[in-house]
Amino acid sequence: MRSQSMIPRLTAPILVGATLLGGSTQAAITRQNFTVTSGQGVELMVREVGDNDFQPGKPPVVLLHGARVPGIATFDLPVEGGSLAVDLARAGHRVFIMDARGYGGSSRDGQGGSQDGQPLVRSDAVVRDIGAVVDAVQARMGVSQVALLGWATGGHWTGMYASQNPSEVSHLVLYNSLYGAHSGHKSLGPGSDTADPGNPDQFNTRRFGAYRLNTAASLLPSWDRSIPVEDKAAWRDPKVVQAYQAAAVASDPTSGTRNPPSFRAPSGAIADSFELASGHKLWDAGPITAHVLVIRSGNDFWSRPEDVTSLAQDLRQAASVRTVTIPEATHYVHLDRPDRGRSSFLSEVIRTLEQPVETKAAH
């Protein structure tokens, strides 16, 4: 753990009665929000989720969102089947959901005015944010290592962090993530609509600007297209969808000032994903020493099979490596119905987190 002076500011804990998987016993799910400073005054919002069956021997898990929707809307919706954080807490882990800078409850420097400008929040900045949260979790839990799970661009960010700080990470789950395995992508990279029309090998900065505005309706088309049945409700619970849309819009305190309401998301993640889709690796998985799960949905529109293969080949020093593809699952499998891939996803994640590591004293 790096030496860093950090006193998280806490909110009052939120107590929620939750039914345990497989029975009617009530477990007290607790949620507590706090902030962590990540250099130059950047404040990061973190939510801790746990229950009274917490098992001290299990690693704390940090969850990191993707390019658009922040942490709570991604991982802790207040409906059954909508909270990966609660599922992991029920499995005995203490869970920490973070918002990278520019997202959700974290600092939003540069998002107060015009959308014009260079894309905000590139990968190196998010890696610094992960480091600040990891330090805070280590101090809070009295451990020297944490587990990281990143979805899509969150997997790119957590993988980059783990490659630069291998001794801090015990377990790593990369979920539907790009790795820059090769050039060629249906919706990203050269020739796609994310490219500059006048220079198709370059990212379209003019179109995406410093940050983007996203409505509730804009969250569904990519999800709809990846569901291989006409009846979308058969694949995902409408209550989860409604909660996801509502939480995403509510994550931005300015959303109600626009019609229709919309939430801001920095464009740096899309700019970096353009590079990855162009075949440019922005980090090397070689130094990672954690237990690693590389998991991909069969109907994912973001990652590619080659990303999984290349990652597995590069993870030469990892304590263990497993690659899993969930057939027909969508990019949003952690929010789909249990029999549409969510149960398989959860069991694979828990299986990886159960891999033993050498115990190290906290610094």
pLDDT digits (tens, 9 = 90+) for 297-314: 999 999 999 999 999 999
* Higher per-residue confidence, 63 vs 191: 63
- On whether the 29-180+217-255+281-354 domain is CATH 3.40.50.150, my answer is no
The domain ranges of the chain are 29-180+217-255+281-354
Question: What burial letters (b/e) apply to 228-262, b meaning 16+ CB within 10 Å?
Answer: eeeeeeebbbeebbebbbebbbebbeebeeeeeeb
pLDDT for position 316:
97
C-alpha 171/C-alpha 320 separation (Å) is: 9
Mean pLDDT in residue range 75-103: 97
Write out the DSSP string of 292-337. Answer: EEEEEETT-SSS-HHHHHHHHHH--S-SEEEEEEETT--TTGGGS-
User: What does pTM read for this prediction?
Assistant: 0.93
pLDDT for position 9:
56
Mean pLDDT in residue range 241-257: 98
Centroid of chain to Cα 335: 13
Percentage of the residues of the chain whose pLDDT score is greater than 90: 85
Instruction: Please list the residues that pair with 19 across neighbouring strands.
Output: 26
pLDDT for position 10:
52
Mean pLDDT in residue range 174-193: 92
C-alpha 81/C-alpha 215 separation (Å) is: 23
pLDDT digits (tens, 9 = 90+) for 113-144: 999 999 999 999 999 999 999 999 999 999 99
C-alpha 143/C-alpha 120 separation (Å) is: 33
pLDDT for position 3:
37
pLDDT band at 6 (very low <50, low <70, confident <90, very high): very low
pLDDT for position 295:
98
Q: Do residues 172 and 292 make contact, with C-beta atoms less than 8 angstroms apart?
A: yes
Q: Tell me how far CA of residue 240 lies from CA of 27, 247, 279, in angstroms.
A: 21, 10, 35
pLDDT of residue 82 exceeding 50:
yes
C-alpha 211/C-alpha 362 separation (Å) is: 39
Across 166-175, 188-197, 283-292, least confident range: 188-197
> Which tokens hold the place of 134?
């990891």
pLDDT band at 215 (very low <50, low <70, confident <90, very high): very high
pLDDT band at 26 (very low <50, low <70, confident <90, very high): low
pLDDT of residue 76 exceeding 80:
yes
